């Protein structure tokens, strides 16, 4: 803010009272502005632009809450926009953030390969980019740090649930997948590895793309049940997939006969687990992912180099955990 200057002003004692009040008010105003500037500087007032691939999902709502809560500790402003599962829209949002001169960008990519060009644009503009939950799968663009659940470990946790549900008898298992998403690739990798080591009598008979959406997962599960009458379990790569699959299982009169395991442990999934429509879930901690993302950004702002990959452990949730 520019401040004006000038020669000292001399007034008579008679006029001193008249001018005192305006100068006092001006002094208060100046003091207030200085204080505001100092506060902003002390808290490192910065704006972080966040583009979430699907803001309607409970997981991402919880992650957003974790980001905002942690950002408040540092005095950062978090601006969140919804990409609505549209890569073109998400790329435009990155361009908007660059134009707005945000201090950092956080992405949960809808298309982890196609997003690379947008990340490269941010790199060219010297805006640091961080990813949360879903990594950049492109050879383009450089990300400072990626914060996510340990999805390989989480997939293994889902496998453990399936092994317990089926017991020694084993049987046929299906996967409702979303193969173009990097985090899902890790989940499926961990799931398959977990089945192979934990219950070798289990056989994967179907691996179908459910798009991560409930309606599509429901339709995919209906097809699987028609093709595999002996199916004993299904792994949905997120809770929308699992809930869609559970609806098909219930409609086919197979509730309790086909174990449905999901990934996230959202409130709706927990209710389904309590009711017996789902067997269990690998449980993520999206609020912790959000908070750790902000911590990584804060470390970067402070001149430290955060770890390139920051993993948040995944647990399990079954009916025994439901209240």
CA angle 260, 169, 192 (to 5 degrees): 55
Q: Which domains does the chain have, with CATH numbers?
A: 47-148+286-310 (3.40.50.2300), 151-285 (3.40.50.2300)
Per-residue pLDDT, 181: 86
Per-residue pLDDT, 6: 39
By DSSP bridging, strand 309-312 and strand 202-209 are unpaired
Per-residue pLDDT, 140: 96
Per-residue pLDDT, 68: 98
Q: How many CA atoms lie within 13 A of 253 on its CB side?
A: 1
> Are 149 and 285 spatial neighbours (Cβ–Cβ below 8 Å)?
yes
All residue ranges of the chain with pLDDT < 70 are: 1-44
Q: Pick from 119, 62, 57: which is nearest to 90 by CA?
A: 119
Per-residue pLDDT, 323: 75
Q: Pick from 270, 268, 273, 309: which is nearest to 289 by CA?
A: 309
Three-state DSSP class for 5?
Answer: coil
Q: How many CA atoms lie within 13 A of 142 on its CB side?
A: 7
By DSSP bridging, strand 315-318 and strand 280-283 are antiparallel
């Amino acid at each position: 803010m520019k401040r004006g200057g000038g020669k000292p002003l001399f007034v008579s004692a008679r006029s001193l009272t008249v001018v005192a009040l305006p100068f006092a008010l001006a002094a208060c105003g100046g003091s207030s502005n200085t204080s505001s500037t100092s506060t902003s500087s002390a808290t490192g007032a910065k704006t972080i632009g966040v583009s979430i691939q699907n803001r309607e999902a409970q997981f991402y709502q919880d992650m957003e809450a974790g980001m905002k809560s942690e950002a408040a500790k540092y005095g950062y402003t978090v601006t969140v926009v919804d990409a609505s599962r549209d890569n073109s829209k998400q790329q435009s949002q990155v361009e908007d953030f660059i134009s707005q001169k945000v201090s950092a960008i956080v992405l949960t990519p809808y298309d982890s390969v196609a997003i690379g060009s947008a990340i490269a644009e941010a790199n060219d503009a010297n805006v640091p980019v961080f990813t949360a939950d879903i990594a950049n799968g492109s050879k383009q663009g450089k990300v400072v740090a990626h914060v996510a659940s340990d999805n390989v470990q989480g997939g293994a946790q889902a496998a453990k649930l399936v092994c317990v549900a089926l017991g020694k008898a084993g049987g046929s298992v299906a996967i409702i997948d979303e193969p173009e998403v990097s985090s899902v690739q890790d989940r499926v990798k961990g799931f398959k590895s977990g089945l192979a080591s934990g219950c070798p009598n289990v056989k994967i008979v179907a691996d179908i793309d459910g798009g991560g959406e409930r309606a599509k997962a429901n339709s995919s599960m209906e097809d699987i049940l028609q093709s595999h009458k002996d199916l004993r379990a299904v792994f949905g790569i997120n809770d929308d997939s699992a809930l869609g699959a559970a609806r098909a299982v219930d409609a086919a009169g197979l509730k309790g006969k086909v174990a449905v395991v999901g990934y996230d442990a959202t409130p709706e999934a927990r209710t389904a687990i309590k009711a017996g429509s789902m067997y269990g879930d690998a449980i993520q901690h999206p609020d912790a992912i959000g908070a750790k993302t902000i911590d990584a950004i804060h470390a970067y702002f402070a001149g430290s180099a955060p770890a390139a990959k920051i993993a948040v452990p995944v647990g399990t949730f079954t009916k025994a955990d439901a209240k």
